[in-house]
Structure 1
Amino acid sequence: MEFDEVLRRRRMIRTYDPDRPVPPEIVDKLIRHALRAPSAGFSQGWGFLVLRDQADRDLYWSVTAEQDDATAGSWLDRMRTAPLIIVALSNKSAYLDRYAQADKGWTGRDEKRWPVPYWDIDTGFAALLIHLTAVNEELGSLFFGVPAARVGAFREAFGVPEEFTPVGVLTVGYPAADKRSPSLRRGHRPVDEVVHHGRWATTDRPGASDI
C-alpha cells in the first residue's frame, strides 16, 4: 500500500473479527517496525508486552477495566474482540543512563535536564509505527491508555518491572462492522489554526473544517 493511502485509511478501530487471528509473521512485522522508531541518543528505552493467547487477553481486560465507568460494558464488549494486544512501555532509566555516558557530555542522571520526557515520546513513536503497519497490512488498531488507577494491578498481573511505565496499548485485528466515533463529528481543525509560519498567529475562525 502506498504511504499516502496508509495515512488516508488510518483511523482508530474499536471492533474486530474475533474469528480471524493476526498471523504470526504479521505480529513479528509489527514489532520489527516498532524497533525502527527514532530514540534520543539511540537509547531505545522501550519494551513491548505482546498478548496473543485468550487467557492473557482476558487477564489484561480484567485487571485494567474501571468498574465505575458507565460506558465500560459497551466499550469493553467491542474491544475484547481484538485477537492481539500490544502494550508499549517506556524505560526512563535507559535514557538517564545513556546521557550520563561520556559521549553525551552529561556527568549525572539529573532528570531536570530533559525539557520533555523523551522516553515516553519515543515509545509513542514506536506505537505509531505499529499502528501504521497494521493499516498497511489491512488490519485495524486502536491506541489507548491504561487507567492510572489500574497500572499497579497491570504490573502485578504480568510481572512488569517497576522501571517500565505503560505509555499506551494497541489492540490489533481485522476490522468488523464498527460504530462511528462521535468524536469524528468535530472534523479536522482548520490548518491555519494549527500551523504557524515564522511566528505564532491567532485566528478568528473557530470551528472545524469540512476537509
Structure 2
Amino acid sequence: MPDQPCSGGLAPAAPFTADERVAVYKAIQTRRDVRDQFLPDPLPDDVVARLLEAAHAAPSVGFMQPWSFILVRDAQVKERAWDAFARANDEAAAMFPDAQQERYRSLKLEGIRKAPLSLCVTCDPDRAGPVVLGRTHNPRMDAFSTVCAVQNLWLAARAEGVGVGWVSIFRDADVRDLLGIPERIEIIAWLCLGYVDALYEEPELAVKGWRLRLPLDELVFRDRWGTR
C-alpha cells in the first residue's frame, strides 16, 4: 500500500525577526571543528535528544531520511576507536611532504578520548527502496542528504554550547567491525561531542597556518563555469 500523505497544511513563510536572523548566522559563522578542547562533563540526555531531533529534521532527497545514529559512550569502545584512528593517522602523516609532516603531527586530535560522547552517523541506501525520487540519476544523493543531517546537528550543537569534532581519519573496516555495521550501510561521520569553554575565533587550521579561507569572490561564477 503506498504511503498516505500527511495532513499538515501550509504555514506562513515570513522572514525571521532581526534577533532570530542574528542567532542563525551567528551559529553558522562561529561553528568550529573541535579537536582537543572538550570538557569531561557528560551531555544531558535532553540536550542529546534535541541535537538528534535537529539532525533528523534535515532535508533529504525523496524524503528518504537515510541516516542512523550510533551513540558511543563506552570507554573501551572509544579507546578501540582511538586506536583505529591512531593507526590511520600515522599512515596519513606519511602521505604529506616532509616539510608538512611535523606540522601535521603537531595538530592535537584527541577528541575521541576526551569528548564524553561519540556519534557515528551512517547512511542506509536502501531505506526508501531501490528507486528514490530525486536519486534516479545521482546515486550519491543519499550520502549528501546524510551530510545535511550532520550539519544540522553541528549548528544546533553550537547553539547549545556543545562542541563537535568530525573524525574522518580511519579505515572504514575498522569502524564497521567495531560497531557491527552491516556492509551495505555507509559510514558517513564519526563525531565527537562535548561541552567546551572556548572556541577559536577562526577555524583552527587557519589559526595554525595549515590553510586559509579562500576568498568567496574567487568561487562564484555567473551562468557558466569560469565566468565571473
TM-score, normalised via structure 2 length: 0.71
Please list, as runs of the form range in 1=range in 2, the aligned pairs for 1:179-190 lying within 5 A after superposition.
Answer: 181-184=204-207, 185=209, 186-190=211-215
Q: Match of 1:32, as an amino acid?
A: E
Contact in 1 for aligned 2:57/2:149 (Cα 8 Å) = yes
Q: Give the aligned residue type for 1:193.
A: E
State the match for 2:28 in structure 1: 7
Choose from 130, 133, 140 the match for 2:156: 133
Of 41, 57, 63, which aligns to 1:36?
A: 57
> How far does residue 128 in structure 1 lie from its aligned partner after superposition?
0.6
Q: How does 1:103-122 map to 2 (within 5 A)?
A: 113-115=136-138, 117-122=140-145
Instruction: State the alpha-carbon separation in 2 of the partners of residues 63 and 189 from structure 1.
Output: 32
After superposition, the C-alpha distances for 1:113-144 in whole angstroms (9 at most, x for unaligned) are 43350111011000111111110101111223
Cα distance in 2 for residues equivalent to 1:48 and 1:14: 21
**Which secondary structure state, in structure 2, belongs to the residue aligned with residue 94 of structure 1?**
coil
Matched, 1:161 2:182: yes
Compute the displacement of 1:56 (Å). 2.8
Relative to structure 1, the CA distance from residue 10 to residue 171 in structure 2 (aligned partners, 3 Å threshold; closer, same or farther) is same
- Once the two structures are TM-superposed, the CA of residue 95 in structure 1 deviates from its matched residue by 4.6
Distance 1:5 1:77, change over 3 A: closer
TM-score by length of 1: 0.76
For the 8 Å contact 1:95–1:119, the answer to whether it is kept is no
Identity %: 26
Using the TM superposition, name which of 194-203 and 28-37 deviates more: 194-203
2:195 alignment partner in structure 1: 174
Structure 2: gaps spanning 5 or more residues: 1-19, 94-103
Give the RMSD, CA atoms, in angstroms: 2.8
| Structure 1 gap ranges (5+) | 204-211
Distance in 1, matches of 2:215 and 2:110, equals 35
Q: How many residues align?
A: 191
Judge conservation of contact 2:34–2:111 (CA < 8 Å) in 1. Answer: no
1:23 to 2:44 alignment: yes
The answer to which of 61-70 and 12-21 deviates more is: 61-70
* Inter-partner Cα distance in structure 2 for 1:129 and 1:178: 19
Give how far 1:199 is off.
3.0
Q: 174-183 or 6-15: which moved more?
A: 174-183
- Rounded to whole Å, the distance in 1 between the matches of 2:169 and 2:107 is 17
Alpha-carbon separation, structure 2, partners of 1:123 and 1:62: 26
| SS class of match (1:66) | helix
Stretch deviating more after TM superposition (17-26 or 76-85): 76-85
Alignment partner, residue 16 of structure 2: none
- Out of 76, 79, 83, which is 2:116 matched to? 83
Q: What displacement does 1:52 show?
A: 2.1
